[in-house]
Amino acid sequence: MVALSKLSDEDELIRQACHNGVAAVRHQAAERIEDEEGLKRLLKEARRDRQVVRLARERLNRLRSDAQWLEAEEQQRETLLNQLEQHARAPWEPLYGGRFRHLERQWEQLTQPPSVEQEQRFHQAVLNCRKTLHDHETQEQARQQSDERREEAENTREQLLEGIEETLDGLRHASAMTVQDIDSLRAQRQLLGQRWQALSDIHPPSETMRQRYTLAIQHYDQCLEAWQRWCAVSAPIETALASGDHATLATLVSECQWPDTLTPRRCSAVPWVRVMLTTPPLAAYRGQRHTGGPWCGTRYL
């Protein structure tokens, strides 16, 4: 036994396992043979000892089984690498991250170490997958920020439009229009124009908002033009009222062209003078007392 333990040559070990007269020596020699080719020789030559034959056969089957397992794992590793590299070239989609993590877990579950070339391929594919995920996350954050800015811009537009629309609506139903009303309206119009342009540089308005803006500007222009015409004839109208100059008064009122939208008409049957005097610019003259002509007092009011 001591002499056997010193042997290292496989051919000598096979000879001892097959031909030594002591069974214990044959078995111990057979135990030390691990090479596949040596086991095949032992299986072929060890006819006289069934235990040596059985040992050689079992060890050879185990080696073959291990080899098959290693080959299967190697094939699985190569398949995973190909799938991961293909995934790394694919564009982002909702299941991209989950698929990547699944392939990564499968790779980590393999027990045998990869080759240097396989390891390099794996790390490159992982880097590409993570870049795809990072790029998508960056784009998604930018999209969300863009949506938030768009929503904020729309809310600001809504507030600006509501403000000038309420002011214009108030002027349509007012009993009188003053310089302060016009100054306030001009200030709102200036603020609306400045903020609207600044917001449009960030995000263009929706079609509905654009239509509302256009309509509000049209109403503003109509109101301001009417006020400017009124300012041009207000002094002559005051003089005509004071002197009872019917013809001049009628001409001036026609030139004023005060819009119906700013005039709360009573009914068409009443004298036109009463209608004229109930328009907002002229309402300030209601209740005036004059002494010269049919426009005096409140006969027509």
pLDDT digits (tens, 9 = 90+) for 87-140: 999 999 999 999 999 999 999 988 788 999 999 999 999 999 999 999 999 999
Measured from the Cβ of residue 223, the count of other Cβ atoms closer than 10 Å reads 22
**Are the beta carbons of 253 and 240 closer than 8 angstroms?**
no
Contact residues for 36 (Cβ-Cβ < 8 A; gap 6+):
60, 63, 64
**Are the beta carbons of 204 and 254 closer than 8 angstroms?**
no
Mean pLDDT of 163-182: 85
- Residue 273's pLDDT is 41
- The whole-angstrom separation of Cα 235 and Cα 6 is 134
Q: Can you give the pTM of this predicted structure?
A: 0.50
The backbone region for 281, taken as left when phi is positive above 0, alpha when psi lies in -120 to 50, beta otherwise, is alpha
The more confidently predicted of residues 108 and 70 is 108
Q: Using 50, 70 and 90 to split pLDDT, how confident is the model at 10?
A: confident
Instruction: List the one residue out of 36, 60, 20 whose CA is nearest residue 28.
Output: 20
**Are the beta carbons of 284 and 176 closer than 8 angstroms?**
yes
- Residue 99's pLDDT is 96
- Residue 68's pLDDT is 78
Instruction: List the one residue out of 89, 116, 83 whose CA is nearest residue 102.
Output: 83
- Residue 30's pLDDT is 80
**Are the beta carbons of 43 and 53 closer than 8 angstroms?**
yes
- The whole-angstrom separation of Cα 224 and Cα 243 is 29
Size of the chain in residues: 301
- The whole-angstrom separation of Cα 81 and Cα 104 is 10
Tell whether the torsion through CA atoms of 95, 98, 100 and 103 is positive or negative: negative
pLDDT digits (tens, 9 = 90+) for 15-55: 777 877 788 878 888 888 877 788 888 887 877 788 888 88
Q: What is the CA radius of gyration of the chain?
A: 51
Range picked from 9-13, 57-61, 188-192, 277-281 for highest mean pLDDT:
188-192
Instruction: List the one residue out of 193, 215, 194, 197 whose CA is nearest residue 205.
Output: 197
- Residue 3's pLDDT is 60
- Residue 8's pLDDT is 66
Contact residues for 38 (Cβ-Cβ < 8 A; gap 6+):
10, 13, 14
Instruction: List the one residue out of 191, 193, 195, 187 whose CA is nearest residue 152.
Output: 195
pLDDT digits (tens, 9 = 90+) for 283-300: 444 433 333 333 332 222
- Cα 132 off chain centre by: 17
- The whole-angstrom separation of Cα 113 and Cα 155 is 59
